[in-house]
Structure 1
Amino acid sequence: MKTLITIIAAFISLTSNAQCSDSFFPFEKDKTLEYTEFNQAKESQGTISHQVTSSSESLAMVKTTAFSKSGKELEKDTYAISCDKGDIQIDVNQYIPSRIWKKFKEKKKEIEGNFIVIPKILEVNQKLPEGNVTMTMEGRPRIEWKVKVYIKDRQVKGKEELTTPAGTFETFVIEESIDIGIDLSSLKEYSSFYQITWYSKNNGIIKKERYGRKEGPLLGYSLLTKSE
């Protein structure tokens, strides 16, 4: 009986791994994706390296390293990508502005929210689940600081073959709107922007564009320039 249970468990694990290996993220240990960041004028602002440091049948840990355009190392961070039956689950925390993470990195935080899901099977015009996250931090006595992020109006805009210095990829194009509310005592800020992301099977994000609003001017973009 114990042997049978072991065989079944191994089969489930292998099946799950096979499902996740055909998802919109490279679940491959030591896989490294390098993105070049461009500003509104399409000028390079530096690069960010994403390295898969560990990977199982349902979870990948990724280390990021940011470099200036001169090649100077700026900062490091880590995040997790999970997989459920081939559907990618992205932590919504990644949508919190980096300047907020940097400023309050050492503060005690409570984070509540859900995942952004990239289904294993995508179709043009498909509507995708929304996501949200609230980060609450301790401020001055009896004062709470909050950051709220809502990701909404998510839809598969189309399919596109995209060529970058890293190669040529078949991609699905996903559009979404992002609302951010920041209440940090003296700082109250509310902003919205529109984002388009190109996803490729087994490769992850190939390109990401950011706009102040839908059909507004381009604010900047990220492009996959190295994959190894």
Structure 2
Amino acid sequence: MPKILIVDDEPNIVTLISRYAQREGYDTVTASDGREAINKCSTDDFDVVIMDVMMPDTDGFTACKKIKESKDIPVIMLSARGTEFDKLFGFEVGVDDYVTKPFSPMELMARIKVILNRSGSAEQKSDSAVLAVGGIKIDTLGLTVTVDGERTELTAKEYALLLLLVKNKGIVLSRDRILNEVWGYDSFGVDRTVDWQIKLLRSKLGAYRDSIKTVRGVGYKFEA
């Protein structure tokens, strides 16, 4: 079972990421600042570290650089600052991936899978990483979607939305739940955001566009 270290000084974010990671079958350990993360990495082995940049005592960039000096652990950095400079600086100190807040938990889980697969830490490989429903196939490691064998280009939000619907096949998902899980923990979106994204996603599913059913007054569900 892959082990993930989640580092953030905001308890609600730690709880959110932990909940999704455990749902994916990962073992999770948490830390509230960079110094604690450094100490835990020195005494334990992790497959991935998810770490915020702005934290008291020791920031994420400093912690990442220190961790990388002794162990080659993939690091996904979280930050509300998404400038090109911040990202380039992060990559210079050894960051493997960079996710800007607010983030989609589903997208973050997908990024973790990509890193685990790349590093050889994932226990489940190609076949088990592909979700197939009818002519739609979702490669959760490669983050690609094919419809009747033809690759279709989806945005990050469209991919996260399709993955959420397929994983909950036959279950009605409210607009509020979709907003929370696809757009993130502090989304201030409205119902029209979900409706518009569903419309765009349907347009890319070809003959399977009607697999996404509208449940009037509630939300949406996916049916093969």
TM, length-normalised to structure 2: 0.26
- Which of the two has greater helix per residue? 2
TM, length-normalised to structure 1: 0.26
Greater relative CO (CA pairs within 8 A, separation 6+): 1
